[in-house]
A and B are shown apart, each in its own frame.
Chain A
């Protein structure tokens, strides 16, 4: 009995610590705080004056320090650029057997005619995996900070959002809506073209995903969040985002495993699927940033 109540107490303390509340005060600390401070606290005016003088000093020094840092950085970069090998020479260190191999055997080994896609998605795919994880984590942290729920939203915010919605409803813009009606399918089509054509022409996951996200942003800002929720709810959004990353990890893991063990390459169109996965992650990142910053909800 005693044990279980103690456990509950611990749980409560941990939950309050995670929520950022102050810990329940210790009695001894309480006594220490009750004592008279040894030095009298400065009055309000005095403190303001001191703050102002500090600020003034800061603003005097700030441009000077910024200039010094910038000039020294420019100097270092210029010196580095001067000692670099000249552009386009045949005996430069970048013209070694690695890039030669990529350019010569890239098409038959990865099955994509575009050397850039072949490189970032199969030879250097581990890099791209890290980048996708960074994007995923960025959206997760922005959501942690900006997603609205009942704990960090008060009545005032809700009131303001409702009044903004009413204003947007009154001023609905028929020109924007008609233009978006024509443009959004075109943008989606172009995004899919760039996404799926990354093997043979410039483009690929990152650019196609960004264009897809831009189309979603246009749709959301033209038709409002109510219509947006018809095609993309929060659950769908999370599912697509996670599905993209998991698909990438699975495919690339299989790719590394098969390639490393010298098995015959059954998965010819692998680059296409990996492209699709990266595109989904990037599109969700872009749209998620927009939605979080604009309204705090998907």
Chain B
């Protein structure tokens, strides 16, 4: 009973993760401006990775591989926002008429 429940939860979170990734890719294609596209990709990335890896751990059961999966997930949560931040900063630095597109906080 418990085993079945865990499997169902794992499958559900796996499917939800795939759905989140699908929306991220859709956003990447549908939006026009760089910052919007990047935002869709970055947000979808974080949640999708969380859901997919949790689903994998639940389906697989607790073992050394699951611990390694948690490490991978921590690593990706640490690196992916930093990468998106750098892309956004590059865009804000280099484009000349940034004021026309959005508000920028002065630093």
Can you spell out 17 A-B residue pairs with CB atoms less than 8 angstroms apart? A171-B89, A171-B93, A173-B86, A173-B89, A175-B82, A175-B85, A176-B82, A176-B85, A176-B86, A179-B78, A179-B79, A179-B82, A182-B78, A183-B75, A183-B78, A183-B79, A186-B75
Per-position contact with B for A173-192: 1 when CB-CB < 8 Å, else 0? 10110010011001000000
Q: With a CB–CB cut-off of 8 A, which chain A residues contact B75?
A: 183, 186
Minimum CB–CB distance for A144 against chain B, Å: 32
Q: With a CB–CB cut-off of 8 A, which chain A residues contact B93?
A: 171
How many Cβ-Cβ contacts under 8 Å join chain A to chain B?
Answer: 17
Q: Which residues of B contact A (CB under 8 A)?
A: 75, 78-79, 82, 85-86, 89, 93
Minimum CB–CB distance for A254 against chain B, Å: 37
Residue of B with least CB distance to A167: B93
Residue tally, chain A, CB below 8 Å to B: 8
Within 8 A of B (CB), among A15-43: none
Question: Other CB < 8 Å A-B pairs besides A173-B86, A176-B85, A183-B75, 14 of them?
Answer: A171-B89, A171-B93, A173-B89, A175-B82, A175-B85, A176-B82, A176-B86, A179-B78, A179-B79, A179-B82, A182-B78, A183-B78, A183-B79, A186-B75
Residue of B with least CB distance to A178: B82
Bound-state CA distance A34–B85 (Å) is: 64
Q: With a CB–CB cut-off of 8 A, which chain B residues contact A171?
A: 89, 93
Q: With a CB–CB cut-off of 8 A, which chain B residues contact A186?
A: 75
Bound-state CA distance A176–B82 (Å) is: 6
Residue of A with least CB distance to B74: A186
Q: With a CB–CB cut-off of 8 A, which chain B residues contact A183?
A: 75, 78-79
Q: Which 3 A-B pairs have the closest CB atoms?
A: A179-B82, A175-B85, A175-B82
Q: With a CB–CB cut-off of 8 A, which chain A residues contact B79?
A: 179, 183
Minimum CB–CB distance for B95 against chain A, Å: 15
Q: With a CB–CB cut-off of 8 A, which chain A residues contact B86?
A: 173, 176
